[in-house]
Amino acid sequence: MGMMERMRTLSPWLIGTVIATFLILMVLGDVDLPQIFNFGGAVRPTTVVGVVEGEKILYKDFEERVRQTAEQQRKQMQQQGIEQEVDDNLIREQVWNQYVNEILMRKEAERAGVFVTPDEIADVLLLDPPDYLKKAFTDSAGVFHRDRYVQLITDPESYADILPDDPSIDKEEEVAKWKRNIIEIENSILLQRMQQKLQNLAGWSASAFSPTYLERRSIAENSYVAMDYVFLNAMNVTLPPNAVTDDEIRSYYEAHKQYYKTRPMRKIKYINFPIVPSSTDSARTRKLIEQISTDLAAQTDPVKRDSVFTHYFATVGGRTQTVSKPTDIDPAKQAFLLGLDVRGVAGPVTLNNKTYFFRLDHRGPSKDTTVRASHILIGFGTNKDSARAVAEQVLARVRGGEDFGKVAQEVSEDKGSASRGGDLDYFGRGRMVKPFEDAAFAASVGSIVGPVESQFGYHIIKVTDRKTESIEFSEIEIQYSVSPQTKKALLRQAYSVMQQLENGENIDSLGKRLGKQVIESVFFDNTQPFLGSMEVTQFAFAHKVGEVSRPFELRFYGYTVVQVSGVREKGIKPLEDVKDQIRDRLLSWKRVEKLKERAEQLARQLQQAGRLDAVKSIDSTLTVMSAARVTEQGQLPTGVDVALAVQAFKLPVGKISSAVRGESGYYIVLVRQRHEVDSAGRAAGIEAIARRKKQEAMQNAFFTWLNNRRQNADIEDNRAEIYSR
């Protein structure tokens, strides 16, 4: 308790958010349209983004978390080599859901008396830290430095001691960042523990089943019949177009309204302005490609061609890549690069709708050799001499022919690499501790060296590969892109449409006059990101029929102007929404009903014949089907039919039945065997079902509760208003 309180006093909360106001100079060709139409304007830090069960979410807190989440995602994408912009709209939706879930969980925990104590958080931090936290204190050999970790967690001020003495580093600010990180980690652990406790509570509550229910499920799942049957499929029945009348549909709807409940729904119409290159943009790009091609072709001297490439590499922009072997190069580019002399230039080359110019900068010995090695670590323990003796024994084993990977899995104290047979993958100089690095780089491929002493213990090292060649090349990539002028022109068109709709123009007439397609959506609920954007969904639910949005800039769609065209509030779906569904159901019933007379006649004929296979001589289109195990779930070779399964359990064994009506048609059945579970089987079944249902409840109950809690919570969402400014 004391340690956590100390951490809190040492860790000041992040205070405030800097609000920057940009003054935009507007000229005729570069008008800031949102500002003209008063959609701009600063949002105050204390603006309320939303209210969840009376708890406010402030803009400054919301945007700070959005910023942090976006930054984390960018780092992850960079590490994975993904060249893609972070979608701020998706990030905001993710953060919004986090806030809502966190607030609802906290409030439910308070009501249920569920608490997470500071000591619990301390135990997690000190005894079982999360993997992402351990990783920051684990060296390249896979060793977790617990002492250093505990020191920095319990005494954040000591973080300054491990920072280099560099005048450019503000140690006070770095310590403050580390303290804020501890607070964030503490809050994260608190929420995880709280969620786990609520999951357990919801799971235990939902996993209480009555003995009667369990017994009934045991009988249903373990009793079965084996039977043969003839099936008359209702889908083969043809009905006239007017077989189901509107009056019948209406009568059915009135009698079954309670089964057609709906959540709030919205429908929109929208016009898209795709952001694609204009003819002027395309001409400009073609001209650039032609200019580079012409300038390169004009030079026969390789040195001068190199200079031309260097000029455009600097002015147009390009990138340089280094790989360790030819197969590491994109296969589509290999043919053009590997045939070049060093400093040779190739292009234009068109690949995947992009145009490239290549230059081979270097091919030969690598400036930075990399080594791949595996190791077995023997820690010093309490006796360094004994540890060395063990290391010598291990060295003798692997040099004597034992599989290095298996020995590593058996004895290595570096559990991270041991699970991979000791493999550490490729590494360059400066990545490992000095004694380890020196030994690995001095050894030849395939050799085993050691014991090598480092501060972590004794290492037995096997060098498995070495990369000494490298290929370096530069490329200029040109693709047809949209100019800022084109985007502004498209945005002006979108705002013009918005203004005309606000002035009362009909969207369908306007779209026809402009030659733009007007699309109307189906009804959707407030959980669906329509057109891939929750902003569109939020707008639809925050506005009335006929109201018009500002132009949204949507990935894959461009600038989109939205008008709310339909509203469905919580309640019963209108008849027009379910009319086709009801018609299909009534048609299915009528098809089955039309089979009744034929099925009854066929049943009498088969009963007289005394065998089902007599059906072949009566109707060659029918055949006898067999089902070895039919439970009340109704799984048959011809499909699922629960209605038939229920009836089959009531039929006598060994006797051809009368016509039995099912959900999909009529059946004539011969039950060959009926298996009813005995008391021992029933008890075993009850125990198995109880375990299974309990496990299902533990897994699903919390998320079911959370989803229902969100649906019924008092939530005010102001994002559509704030982010449309």
Over residues 615-642, the pLDDT tens digits come to 999 999 999 999 998 888 888 888 889 8
- Position 448 pLDDT exceeds 60: yes
Reported as type and span, the H/E element at residue 221 is helix 211-222
Q: Report pLDDT digits (tens) over 407-420.
A: 998 888 887 788 88
Q: Measured between alpha carbons, how far is 679 from 689 in angstroms, rounded to an integer?
A: 15
Q: Measured between alpha carbons, how far is 24 from 44 in angstroms, rounded to an integer?
A: 19
Q: Indicate the pLDDT class of residue 237, thresholds 50, 70 and 90.
A: very high
Q: Measured between alpha carbons, how far is 527 from 19 in angstroms, rounded to an integer?
A: 31
Q: Compute CA distances 141 → 128, 146, 207, 428, 440, whole Å.
A: 20, 14, 45, 13, 13
| Nearest in space to 377 (alpha carbons), one of 337, 332, 330, 435 | 435
pTM to 2 decimal places: 0.55
- Position 577 pLDDT exceeds 80: yes
Q: What is the mean pLDDT of the chain?
A: 82
Q: Give the Cα-Cα-Cα angle 56, 59, 63 (nearest 5 degrees).
A: 125
Q: Which range among 101-115, 207-221, 482-496, 679-693 has the greatest average pLDDT?
A: 482-496
pLDDT score for 582: 94
Joined together, the tokens standing for residue 301 give 């001297």
pLDDT score for 208: 64
- Report which of residues 82 and 671 the model is more confident about: 671
Range with lowest mean pLDDT among 577-586, 654-663, 693-702: 693-702
pLDDT score for 3: 31
The one-letter code for the residue type at 15 is I
DSSP letter, residue 138: B
Give me the half-sphere count of Cα atoms (radius 13 Å) on the Cβ side of residue 720: 19
- Position 11 pLDDT exceeds 50: no
Q: Compute CA distances 222 → 30, 263, 626, whole Å.
A: 75, 38, 19
Mean pLDDT value across residues 321-325:
75
- Report which of residues 470 and 636 the model is more confident about: 636
Q: Measured between alpha carbons, how far is 412 from 645 in angstroms, rounded to an integer?
A: 60
Q: Measured between alpha carbons, how far is 217 from 223 in angstroms, rounded to an integer?
A: 10
Q: Indicate the pLDDT class of residue 487, thresholds 50, 70 and 90.
A: very high
